[in-house]
């Protein structure tokens, strides 16, 4: 029972933090009507993007995990206090929540449907006993980091200290974030990664689907709710290596779950916004943010996201008969390409950082 309460508390922590981080960006997008779901979605990416910028130097400097926890949670506290303490932001937030309250009264059924879909998916995610072999690496890494108070210096597959940094994984600081939270709040890595993050990823996945549905159905609540339900059905019934549903529902502790189920559709959403609202420069910055945070979440993003961004911005260029979207797309994917370059160099032994 205590664990359930703690999970709910951690869930609230993440939601408040994502919302605060997202608000840093979305309240400044003057041409965009403030939306709670869009803000949380952007906040999720900004959170991991900034975390990577701080965590990677700490990793290479071999700082103790507890130091990183102090640095990071201080920054999080500053952002949350700043956002909550600023009257102008509070006013915008209150306006947005008032809007949600009105919608609940106007169309209670179709407001409730997406919420029930998320709840159903969350229950499904947390009910199974999952012990996939991959977890030995991913959760083992976090457990060892917390236990040894180091940042991924130990190899969970051998239990020994690494001789050199694992370049493929050390830029993907998704796991380090889990270790920081476990260290700071005393939560067990298995609970944080399997249950708390399982539900967090479920919520963010549905937020992305919801925003896509809202975009293509022009805010029609009935159609938006229906699309969220169909997406849930598809996730439940397409358990195979060829969709990310299996990762989303059963292996959410891996960054790949976020990559396939959150980042890939979110990139599509941002490019669709660029197609529809081409003049809004902010969406190019958001695309850059997505590329940056994708590498912070999963190492596979360094190949997948450049392909997706390249193919989508090329499509945009073809449709518009203008080469600039493709050029901007190439600029946006720079973080992924830099990390890919470092990884390729490391795999050929040209870039090795000894511990």
Partner 1 sequence: MPIQITEAGVDFIRQCLQTYQGETWFLLLFAGAMLLLFWLKDPESRTLRLLLWPYFTVLVCTVYNILIMQVFIRKLNLSGEYYRFFWLLPLGIVIPYVCTRLTASGNGRMKKILVFLLLTIVIAAAGAPAWSRKLPITSNPYRIPDDMIIACDIIKKDAKRERLEDVGVVFDFNLNLLVTQYDPSFRVIIPYESMMTTVNTGRTKTDTDNIWLNSRITLVELLMLDRYWVPHEDFMSALNVTETAYVVYDASGPNHDYLLGAGLAEIGRTDDYVIYKYGWYFDRLYKSRGYVKFEF
Q: Which 98-137 positions form the footprint of partner 1 (CB under 8 A)?
A: 124, 126-131, 133, 135-137
What CA–CA distances, in Å, run from 264 to 117, 141, 257, 300, 354? 21, 25, 10, 12, 33
* Smallest separation, CB 129 to partner 1 (Å): 4
**Residue 319 found at the interface with partner 1 (CB under 8 A):** yes
| d(C-alpha 336, C-alpha 296), whole Å | 10
> Based on CB atoms, which residue is closest to partner 1, 54 or 226?
226
> Based on CB atoms, which residue is closest to partner 1, 22 or 325?
325
String of DSSP letters for 149-169: TSSS-B-TTTSSBPSB--HHH
Q: Which long-range contacts (CB under 8 A, 24 or more apart) does 125-131 make?
A: 125/198, 125/199, 125/202, 125/248, 125/249, 125/250, 125/252, 126/194, 126/195, 126/198, 126/199, 128/250, 130/194, 130/250, 130/251
CB of 42 closer than 8 Å to CB of 289? yes
State whether residue 291 is helix, strand or coil: helix
Could you say which of 43, 189, 255, 335 contacts partner 1 (CB under 8 A)? 189
* Smallest separation, CB 268 to partner 1 (Å): 6
> Based on CB atoms, which residue is closest to partner 1, 66 or 86?
66
* Smallest separation, CB 164 to partner 1 (Å): 16
* Smallest separation, CB 152 to partner 1 (Å): 13
H-helix or E-strand spanning residue 279: none
**Residue 330 found at the interface with partner 1 (CB under 8 A):** no
Could you say which of 318, 327, 331, 338 contacts partner 1 (CB under 8 A)? 318
* Smallest separation, CB 186 to partner 1 (Å): 14
Contact positions with partner 1 (CB under 8 A) in 221-240:
222-223, 226-228, 230-231, 233-240
> Based on CB atoms, which residue is closest to partner 1, 49 or 260?
260
- Per-residue x/- track, 257-296, partner 1 (CB under 8 A): --xxx--xx--x--xx--xx--------------------
Could you say which of 95, 347, 352, 353 contacts partner 1 (CB under 8 A)? 347
* Smallest separation, CB 279 to partner 1 (Å): 16
| d(C-alpha 140, C-alpha 59), whole Å | 17
| d(C-alpha 62, C-alpha 225), whole Å | 47
Q: ∠ CA(39), CA(40), CA(46), 5° rounding?
A: 85
């Amino acid at each position: 029972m205590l664990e359930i309460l703690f999970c709910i508390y951690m869930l609230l922590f993440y939601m408040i933090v994502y919302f605060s981080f997202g608000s840093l960006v979305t309240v400044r997008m003057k041409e965009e009507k403030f939306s709670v779901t869009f803000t949380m979605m952007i906040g999720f990416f900004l959170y991991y993007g900034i975390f990577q910028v701080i965590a990677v130097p700490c990793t290479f400097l071999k700082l103790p995990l507890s130091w990183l926890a102090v640095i990071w949670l201080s920054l999080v506290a500053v952002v949350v206090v700043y956002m909550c303490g600023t009257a102008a932001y509070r006013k915008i937030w209150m306006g947005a929540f008032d809007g949600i309250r009105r919608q609940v009264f106007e169309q209670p059924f179709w407001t409730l449907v997406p919420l029930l879909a998320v709840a159903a998916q969350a229950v499904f995610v947390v009910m199974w006993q999952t012990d996939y072999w991959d977890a030995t690496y991913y959760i083992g890494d976090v457990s060892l980091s917390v236990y040894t108070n180091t940042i991924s210096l130990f190899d969970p597959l051998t239990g020994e200290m690494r001789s050199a940094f694992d370049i493929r994984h050390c830029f993907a600081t998704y796991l380090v974030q889990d270790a920081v939270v476990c260290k700071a709040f005393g939560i067990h890595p298995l609970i944080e990664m399997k249950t708390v993050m399982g539900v967090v990823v479920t919520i963010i996945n549905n937020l992305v689907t919801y925003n896509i549905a809202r975009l293509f159905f022009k805010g029609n609540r009935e159609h938006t709710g229906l699309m969220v339900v169909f997406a849930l059905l598809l996730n439940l019934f397409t358990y195979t290596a060829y969709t990310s549903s299996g990762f989303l529902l059963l292996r959410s502790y891996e960054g790949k779950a976020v990559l396939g189920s959150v980042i890939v559709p979110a990139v599509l959403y941002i490019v669709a916004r660029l197609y529809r609202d081409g003049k809004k420069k902010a969406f190019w910055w958001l695309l850059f943010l997505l590329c940056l945070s994708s590498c912070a979440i999963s190492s596979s993003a360094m190949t997948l996201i450049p392909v997706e961004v390249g193919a989508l911005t090329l499509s945009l260029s073809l449709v518009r008969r203008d080469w600039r979207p493709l050029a901007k797309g190439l600029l946006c994917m720079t973080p992924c390409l830099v990390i890919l370059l470092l990884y390729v160099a490391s795999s050929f032994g040209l870039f090795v950082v000894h511990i």
